[in-house]
Amino acid sequence: MKKVIEYKSYDEDVITSSNQDYKLKSSYKWIHKNIIWNILSYIVYWIILLVALIYKLVRRISYKNKRVLKGTYFLYGNHTSQFGDILNPFLICFPRRPYLICSTANLGIPVIGKILPLAGALPIPEDLHGLVKFKKAVEYRSKKGNPIIIYPEAHLWPWYTGIRNYTNVSFHYPVDLDTKVYSMTTTYIKSNIFNKPNINIYIDGPFIKNNDISKKENAEKFRLEVLNKMKSRSKSSNCEFITYKKKD
């Protein structure tokens, strides 16, 4: 029998960790200069690449149109896979190392949460002081040429085949940093052999800043371009591994 998940709105978590309310310490660092940290981070990066390759083969994932990725960019995707959304960008962006903007709740996941900062996670803080340091880290990584990965839907809905609406908040980063934007749409295709669907991930763009309009208008422009492209690509999904039903 197919699994059914009921929801009230797109702004709720249907999957939670055992430490969902994890908070960053006031001393948390987004940029590390320590040589030991950076050596460990380098090792973790190559381990993740290997794990991502194995995951790609096991989950039967195909990356479509990734050749369009060029220059400095922000990559926006639909949030439908707990592990795939972490691992896939490492292969999609290779040989460049991606950095993923994420919720602090991810750092509360047992074992994995401790590794995420070494892997390149940039958790969003709740306090103003931390937010200043966070934004500096995003700018630092982008100017170093690292792709920045964002899941604007914010909440993980496993195997969801639609596209949930989202705000333009996260699209202010590429506007402020004057970088290109791409979309990354995960779709699910029925397998004739396996129970779980095959996965196709489509890369589209670039979407370019318009210097004749305001920053706010550009953020909304990026949001609509990415949203519309995701909705268009999502139509290629032809099966539901999990059915999502809105509560009455």
- Number of structural domains (the chain) is 1
pLDDT digits (tens, 9 = 90+) for 81-116: 989 999 999 999 999 999 999 988 877 776 777 889
pLDDT digits (tens, 9 = 90+) for 47-89: 999 999 999 999 999 999 999 999 999 999 999 998 999 999 9
Q: Is residue 28 part of a domain?
A: no
Residue the block writes with tokens 């309310």: 21
Q: Is residue 10 part of a domain?
A: no
pLDDT digits (tens, 9 = 90+) for 190-231: 999 999 999 999 999 999 999 999 999 999 999 999 999 999
* Residue 125 structural domain: 35-242
- This prediction has a pTM of 0.93
Q: Is residue 247 part of a domain?
A: no
Q: Is residue 8 part of a domain?
A: no
Q: Is residue 129 part of a domain?
A: yes
pLDDT digits (tens, 9 = 90+) for 156-188: 999 999 999 999 999 999 999 999 999 999 999
183 beta partners: 76, 204
Q: Is residue 26 part of a domain?
A: no
> Residues near 245 by Cβ (< 8 Å), separated by ≥ 6?
4, 5, 6, 7
Q: Is residue 224 part of a domain?
A: yes
Bin 181: left if φ > 0, else alpha if -120 < ψ < 50, else beta: beta
Q: Is residue 86 part of a domain?
A: yes
